[in-house]
Amino acid sequence: MAASHKNITADEVKRAVENAYQKVRSESGGKNASYIPYLASVDSNLFGISVCLLDGTIISVGDSTHTFGIESVSKVPTAILAMREYGAVDILNKVGADATGLPFNSIMAILLEKDRPSSPLVNAGAIAACSLVEPVGNKEKKWQAIVDNIKELTGAEPEVIEELYASESATDFNNRSIAWLLKDYGRIYDDPDLSLDLYTRQCSLGTTAEALSIMAATIANDGFNPVTNTQVFDPDFAPKVTSLITTVGFYERTGDWLYKSGIPAKSGVGGGVLGVMPGMFGIAAFSPPLDEAGNSVRAQLAIREIMHELELNIFAASRLCICQCRPTQEQS
C-alpha cells in the first residue's frame, strides 16, 4: 500500500496534549532521583507538557513554565555547540556517536569502547564535549559559550539552580572518576576538573518544559528557532543531533523507548524529556519521578500517548505528517 501522508492541525495537537495530561497526571509510579540530594526534595506531583510547532506556536498544559534541573538534557545543546565549533566529522572522531547499551554514568562503557567516549549524550562523552568547548583553558568564557548556546536554542537565558549545583558538586564522585579515566585514555581535551565542573554546572541549569520544547523544535526545524526566527546552527547538524538522541537518549532503555513511542527523545534525572519529530514539532514533558533507568515515568507516558493519539511514528512512512503549521517557502 502506498504511503499516504497525514496532515495534523494545531487543534489536534492541543487535544492530544490535553488528553495525555488528564490520562497520565494520576500515574504514581517512579521515584525522584535521590543520588543528587536536591532532586529528592523536588515536589513529585509537578507535571507539565509543551509542544512547539514549527511556526512557533506553543501548546502547553500543567507545570510547563515551572523551573527544574535540566540535568542530562543539557548534553544535547552542548553536543550542538561542539558541532558548531568543530564540525560534525570532528565530533564523531573526538567523541563518537555510538550507543553504549549501559547506564548513563557507566565506567564499563569507557573501558569497552577503546577509542572514544561513545557519544556526547552519555556522561563520559558529555564531559569530553565540555572539554572541547572553546576557548580551551578559559573556564568562564567556555561557560558563557555554553549558556549563550542554550539561550539561542530556547530563546531564554538559563540560570544555575545554585542549590542543585552545590548538591551535585558535593556528590559527583563517579563523574570525577570518569573525567580522570578519560584523561588517562587521552579522550579529554582540556583540564579534567575544569571540564567536569562545566558539565556539573550545565546539568544544574534551570529550564522549563516550554523552553525545552523550543530547543526540540529548533532541532526538528533544521537548526532554525521558530520562536526567535533565527538560524541557530547549520541545518546539516540537525539529523546528526537527532541520530545521537535516537541511539542513546534513554541509555540502556533507548531501544524499548523507540519501539514503544516512535520518537527520538532525551531524558534527564531532573524529570525532563525532550522529543524531536523532524519537520513536525518539538515536544517536552517534565515530572520528577523516574523509572529505574533514570527516565521520567509521567513524561514518557505522556509523550507516548500524544504520539499514539496523533498516529505519528518516525519509523512509519504512512504516519509521517505534513504539519499544516509549518510555514512553506511561499507563505514565509
Using CB under 6 A, list all residues that contact ligand DON.
71-72, 104-105, 123, 168, 175, 203, 267-269, 294-295
Query: What residue type is 9 in one-letter code?
Result: T
Closer residue to ligand DON in complex, CB, 60/167: 167
| Residue nearer to ligand DON on the CB measure, 120 or 223 | 120
* Min separation Cβ 286 and ligand DON, Å: 13
Which segments of the chain does DSSP mark as H helices, in order? Answer: 10-24, 37-40, 75-86, 88-94, 108-112, 123-132, 139-154, 162-169, 173-184, 192-203, 209-220, 237-248, 254-261, 297-309
Q: Which is nearer to ligand DON, 8 or 245 (CB)?
A: 245
Q: How far is the CB of 246 from ligand DON (least distance, A)?
A: 16
Select 72 or 213, whichever has its Cβ closest to ligand DON.
Answer: 72
Helix, strand, or coil (residue 286): strand
d(CA 255, CA 302): 18
How far is C-alpha 120 from the geometric centre of its chain's CA atoms? Answer: 11
Q: Which amino acid is at 128?
A: A
Beta bridge partners of 282: 52, 276
Contact between residue 128 and residue 117 where contact means Cβ atoms under 8 Å apart: yes
Shortest Å, Cβ 233 to ligand DON: 23
Taking the least distance from each CB to ligand DON, the nearer of 121 and 310 is: 121
Q: How far is the CB of 29 from ligand DON (least distance, A)?
A: 16
Is residue 169 within 8 A of residue 197, CB to CB? The reply is yes
Q: From the CB of 5, what's the least distance to ligand DON, in Å?
A: 33
Helices (H) and strands (E) in the chain, counts: 14, 9
The region, left, alpha or beta by phi > 0 then psi within -120 to 50, assigned to residue 64 is alpha
Which residues sit opposite 275 in a β-bridge?
A: 265, 283
Cβ proximity to ligand DON: between 213 and 295 the closer is 295
Please report how close the Cβ of residue 290 comes to ligand DON at its closest, in angstroms.
7
Q: Which is nearer to ligand DON, 214 or 290 (CB)?
A: 290
For the bound state, the minimum distance from the C-beta of residue 267 to ligand DON, rounded and expressed in Å, comes to 4
